[in-house]
A and B are shown apart, each in its own frame.
Chain A
Amino acid sequence: MSTGVAITGMGIISAIGNNVAENYSSLLEGRTGISHISKIDTVHKGSIMVGEIEFTNGELEAKLGLGPNNNYSRTALLGAIAAKEALEDAKITNIKAYRTGLISSTSVGGMDMTEKFYYDYLESEDNRRYIEGHHAGDSTDKIAEQLGIDQSLVTTISTACSSAANAIMFGARLIKTGKLDRVIVGGADCLSKFTINGFNTLMILSDTYNTPFDENRKGLNLGEAAAYLVLESEFLVKKEKKKVLGYVVGYGNANDAYHQTASSENGDGATLAMEKALAVAGLEPKDIDYINAHGTATGNNDLSEGRAIIRVFGEDVPEFSSTKAYTGHTLAAAGAIEAVYSILSLQNNIIYPNLNFKTPMKEFSLIPQTTLKEKALNTVLSNSLGFGGNCSTLIFSK
């Protein structure tokens, strides 16, 4: 197995907790964060369910010590909170001591403010400060500022629902090639009318709790979240005697090249992504102890991903589960959320239950892990699959 890139810190905020510890206890207790919409003024309030974070923007601004004239989108607010926790967890006090970069990801960016002030901008000066906050890179720039990262490599990836997995992948490669000594990687996405209505027009939103890999699954619940990992070079880990939480040992990205939004029936892209990640890690399928599946609970995803898992693992599919029933599908953040969950799995030798599963799918005999399970874990594979045929796999090890 390749030695991989060391993970020395992590931070997260999601519908099931405002930090790593809260997320982990919700995972253990089987506590879902899915509920009816309370913070967004939408006509779909009563008919769909989402994974919302309890804090209001005002509360998040107060936590970050931002003044009343700030122009942070909710994406930037969530991202800054999670990234700061990751940095603290890695016990980094002097950010300028080494070449430190930030690779973030988002799909929504500042759309929450744009949709709120879209016509208002033309009429009144009051909220025009948010205009500059719209583009996807703005939340990343703000997170960099919050962390004190300057004169450095800071960029943003947006490949729909695989974005954060790709940010982790690119960050790991930047460490491997020696371009950076350490890098904060992850993603953030807030809920917005834009995404709620977008997914609604695609008719893939569930009106109840999502049920990944269930025969009667009705679609996904959207969620909002942010999560970041700190990756550090081997040299730095040794020099600073850093505590290593786990390693990114494998990564693979491939394109399904099948349809703009739907996944191919046989999961070509997902199969390729998993195969590439295994090759980079120098692992065989039998070496994987647990799969944290993308498992969005849409008809299309779970079938395509399930078939891809069977293509890669054959008869010996390890325990697998999707944690989307806890958090909802957090889009560009999902890959980072599930990376944090994967590391927690490795640290605690715990496999999370795939909540809400009742009936096996008729197309294959795959059954997700439905109860909390203790198992000695050395490797966890995590999938993230998105629009534009974008398929990504990460493999983490102890």
Chain B
Amino acid sequence: MEKVYINSIGSISAQKTFDNNDFLEEIVTYQDNIIPVIEPNYKDFIPPAAARRMAKGIKMGVVASKIALEEANLTDIDAIITGTGMGCVRDSEKFVTAILDNNEQFLTPTSFIQSTHNTVAGQIALGIGCKGYNFTYVHSSVSFESALLDAFMQLELKEAENILVGGVDESGDHTNAIHKLIQHIKPEKINSKELLHSKTGGAVFGEGANFFVLSNKKQDYSYAQLLGIKTYNTLAKSDLVANLEVFLKEKNLTFGDIDVLISGNNGDIDYDNYYSELTNGPFKDTQQVAYKHLSGEFNTASAFGFWLGAKILRTQHIPSPVALNPIKIKGLENVLLYNQYRGKNHSFTLLRRC
């Protein structure tokens, strides 16, 4: 079995992450319950005429993937695998609205085409002329991890050498409005610095695109090794620790080998207690990191967590805004990510310094 490495990254998030030389030196704080991404100047990456036609999700995905490909010094890639919970949801909304408001008349196909979940993966392939394997996973909070697992299997078995993997989701007005109605979005606008200590239900919704080149060829510039991924459609709180132990054992690791836990806390008082099972349990004396107060919650927010893990391992540095506890140790070797959304679709992802 080949080892699998994260060779490059590209991130568009609610923080200024599109420049790979930066690492959360300046944090943008928000006082809201929906937060947008900080967009790069798309014209630096895409011809303006093409950019105008593209949905926001496509622009974010295409640009994040360009940043990752450039950093890995690649113009082509063996496969493109994306995860997205909702696809280009604004175009879905636009098309439904047009159908309803005009009684199915005077419709144009653009928003229908862009609403297709695999539009971003298709557009990336089109942009670089990649005729390779092209998949899109659309399964809530494990959309990105499913893509990761697929890439991991191909690279382990040497079926490919370089694979572009990414998670992308854009925020849509109607989707946000109705998720406020069912309290999946917090009723109050909250300061992002306070979010993780919130005493209310619901999350702060966000958006973003995080892309990576994974490879079985280690380079000087590789960020980290990807040791494994495991997803679970359901997992009772009481079974969490035992299942994690099994997963770690499969990688010949124990709880004590984990130097950093990156958890997907989103400030939802009803569901953050899943993370407490780990943070107050086997990892209570381990360095703990969280990120959704910086990125917002979205189906592929865990790809931002993955970006953070890669950055931490390469720089051997944990920026203070993401640290959950004051514990600091030197020599960060193994990083574990745990994420779930509303108690469902859990994932463990394991990274190692390389």
Contact = CB atoms under 8 A, between A and B. Distances in A.
A197 interface: yes
A122 B230 CA distance: 38
A193 B95 CA distance: 10
A260 B100 contact: no
Given A387-B113, A387-B118, 11 more contacts: A115-B100, A119-B100, A135-B140, A144-B233, A153-B233, A159-B117, A194-B96, A202-B113, A260-B113, A261-B113, A390-B122
Contacts of B107: 197, 200-201
A311 to B, nearest CB: 14
Nearest to A151: B232
Given A151-B239, A257-B126, A170 B135 contact: yes
Nearest to B114: A260
B97 to A, nearest CB: 8
A266 interface: no
B122 A135 contact: no
B182 A107 contact: no
Interface string A43-82: 1100000000000000000000000000000000000000
Interface of B: 80, 85-87, 92, 95-97, 99-100, 103-105, 107-109, 112-113, 115-119, 121-123, 125-126, 129-140, 142-143, 146, 150, 153, 156-157, 174, 177-179, 181-182, 184, 230-235, 239, 243, 299, 344-345
13 contacts: A115-B100, A118-B96, A131-B178, A131-B182, A137-B142, A141-B344, A154-B345, A157-B136, A177-B153, A198-B95, A253-B135, A257-B125, A258-B126
A202 B131 contact: no
Contacts of A144: 233-234
A388 interface: yes
Given A122-B177, A194-B96, A253-B133, A170 B150 contact: yes
Interface of A: 42-44, 102, 106-107, 109, 111, 114-115, 118-119, 121-122, 128, 131-132, 135-138, 140-141, 144, 149-160, 166, 170, 173-174, 177, 179, 193-194, 197-198, 200-202, 253-261, 268-269, 272, 386-390
A260 B118 contact: no
A390 B116 CA distance: 12
A150 B85 contact: no
A158 B177 CA distance: 25
A358 B314 CA distance: 64
Contacts of A118: 96-97, 100, 174
A166 B96 CA distance: 27
Given A135-B299, A155-B139, A159-B118, A257 B235 contact: no
A128 B137 CA distance: 26
The list of the 5 closest CB pairs from A to B, nearest first, reads A388-B122, A198-B112, A154-B233, A158-B117, A137-B139
B126 A157 contact: no
Contact of B131 (A42, A114, A194, A257): A257
Contact of A389 (B104, B126, B235): B126
A390 B126 CA distance: 11
Contact of A43 (B80, B97, B104, B140): B104
Contacts of B230: 153
Given A135-B86, A255-B122, A159 B233 contact: no
A360 to B, nearest CB: 30
A255 B131 contact: yes
A307 to B, nearest CB: 16
B85 A121 contact: no
Contacts of B150: 170
Contacts of A268: 131
Contacts, number: 197
A260 B142 contact: no
Contact of B99 (A141, A152, A194, A259): A194
Given A115-B100, A135-B86, A197-B107, A260 B122 contact: yes
Contacts of A141: 140, 233, 344-345
Which of A144, A157, A174, A272 is the most central at the interface, judged by chain B CB atoms within 10 Å of its CB? A157
Contact of B137 (A151, A155, A257): A155
Contact of B134 (A106, A122, A149, A255): A255
Nearest to A109: B138
Given A115-B100, A387-B118, A156 B233 contact: no
A310 to B, nearest CB: 19
A159 B184 CA distance: 28
A199 to B, nearest CB: 8
Given A151-B234, A193-B99, A121 B181 contact: yes
A149 B345 CA distance: 13
A118 B99 CA distance: 11
B232 A131 contact: no
B243 to A, nearest CB: 7
Contacts of A388: 116, 118-119, 121-123, 125, 134, 136
B75 to A, nearest CB: 13
Given A121-B181, A150-B233, A43 B103 contact: yes
Contact of A44 (B104, B113, B129, B235): B104
Contacts of B80: 255
Given A256-B131, A387-B118, A155 B96 contact: no
Contact of B109 (A102, A158, A201, A386): A201
A43 B177 CA distance: 28
A361 B267 CA distance: 61
Contacts of B132: 254-255
A253 B134 contact: yes
A153 B21 CA distance: 36
Contacts of A157: 135-138
B104 A137 contact: no
A386 B122 CA distance: 10
Given A131-B179, A197-B104, A388-B116, A137 B143 contact: yes
B145 to A, nearest CB: 8
A137 B96 CA distance: 20
Nearest to A280: B159
A131 B172 CA distance: 14
A106 B115 CA distance: 13
B136 A158 contact: yes
Contacts of A257: 125-126, 129-131
